Structure 1
């Protein structure tokens, strides 16, 4: 990729980030991520399909519920909204090309400030996406997915597609139409729906059945519009159980899959899973990936982590190799992503205020995933991991067990087998052995 900086260089002193290998002491270099290295027949770049989250990296200002901004950006100073948006985009594409990120993701309001006027917002989106199209063509960076922010504006305090006021729902539709148009225009591979406020705070004032039906109709009309407009990508739903609402209708992977199947959306929609959201739902991320993969609905992922001592969505960059190895084992066995990828939906810390910190964060995340990919491949290729797991279910591979799986045994037959064969032997699950195999290859 070439480095595109526009009229300014926002990240002075940082050149092209290169692979230097495990022995490198350079903090601005990759030790594990070697884009063209082949793993199980595909390059690392193809397996991982890394993306930059436009909102955290170029809009996030370090503020939290207890304090104001600590990050002040040189691209965020112009009073004209279009020029300010172009400056931000110059910075974004400079960063993404320098760190070798092949994709990016955005909410509509991340690209350019929105007003309360639908027509003006559409005009602004058209102008900034014209500029984005030029930047993509010049740099080779592509759009992994776009989405509409239907949760920040005051009008969405009771939801968008599930709002009890049809007028609000219509505004949500206008915003989604514009964001879909932008995604199609920029060649986006996917389009995401995250229902941050599609849920309830209290059942006392909520007609849950009606709200969920409205949400399904909203998704259908958005899908139909996009298909008619030529969108051939995948629609993604991102599960999250709570925060900001008490209960969100896209609670976890299993809930979303049930919703999609109930409302006939499963052929067009897959899941975009986020690590920190799995934690909030009381699951491991591996669980969520497994649920989606076995349903054939693993679409994409937002990579981050939470803080074990914090109960909220801290969106930290991923650094835990052990946890990611377990995740990559599932992804490798599932064949990887099709049109999805790994979006770093993570933000540098409030007190990380140097321009280089954004590079350190992404380099660390990319290296951690690359290392986990190599380890997971080694485990599948050289250890007894897959064999041990297969042997654990060997009783279903022949005889009565195989007949049961084939649907040949009724309940009485199960009773007769149990009576004839007595008490079963105790067979160890050997969890510690499996955990040791992971650590052995790390």
Structure 2
């Protein structure tokens, strides 16, 4: 623990994106934008058209500073200039609290922080939090998911067989330990959940909430920090991008989990483990106000079912499309997919690599690993599209005819009877064979 704290102290309090939100420079930016719009600068006009809520009602010849400030604020990810100023003030206050070693933000109650990774553990320490930390990490957005007695063993076998470097015994031990800690979480005075908007986080969030409800944890002491973006971050992928100051600021905006969220989580967990994707789809077909990011996450998750037209998941098809113009190392395929293609990125590098390896394990593989000198790191291993892969992309074949490796999405066995697919046009699951 001493080493953890010592390492945490080395973290900068602010990220580059935090530092960029400097009120003085933003004011200058707004004035420059105002002047550029008045002079008819095309790039400036495009910024207004893209970001201003009422661009067609403006008089550009006498474009006002207030309208320029609105554009600058929206470019930073906030709704208005006053909201931008308030955010900067709140971040300054959070940074000052850390610098002056003021009381821990979670020090009033015995707190357990739960996160689906360890990416914010050091940040929380640096921000002055003193509560315990549980890394509740299991990529249930991939592979089989059930609530049966052997569920932990099944998950461990999936992870150790599909993710390079993961050993079965270690994985079983890790999963069992985190479940034991979660089962005792109700003994804490506060349970703080840190989960963002993507399928990895949202599916684990519903599992955690369902488990907490099952063991009798009072929803009134369960608090949620959840977000899909953060001011200043252009491409928000996860909470690991947040600085210690931002984490302290986020904690101040936490919300208590409602009974409705508890109930919705339990229903969603049951639907996730069902042998058909229809209950999960129907549950989020409307809005899910108690857990506002759940609908988008579930729809993105369901897009990992085999596609109706080609038998490829969204990720699989995207990877093959990236390789159309020639071989690439895994790291570049992954980076392109995460940054440019996936509308709701949730893959870790091992998860993505596992998807590529599963494609290779088909009797007729649509991609192949190129020979290389020595042992290359995963991200350096080069993949190439095969002719069978080109036929898939052209719509001339269905991946089911290629003898695909066994695959599960939650409780749904892929390429089984019925053969559940994702209809990309209608954005819904359908049975290919009726």
The TM-score bracket by the shorter chain reads under 0.3
TM-score by length of 2: 0.26
TM-score by length of 1: 0.26
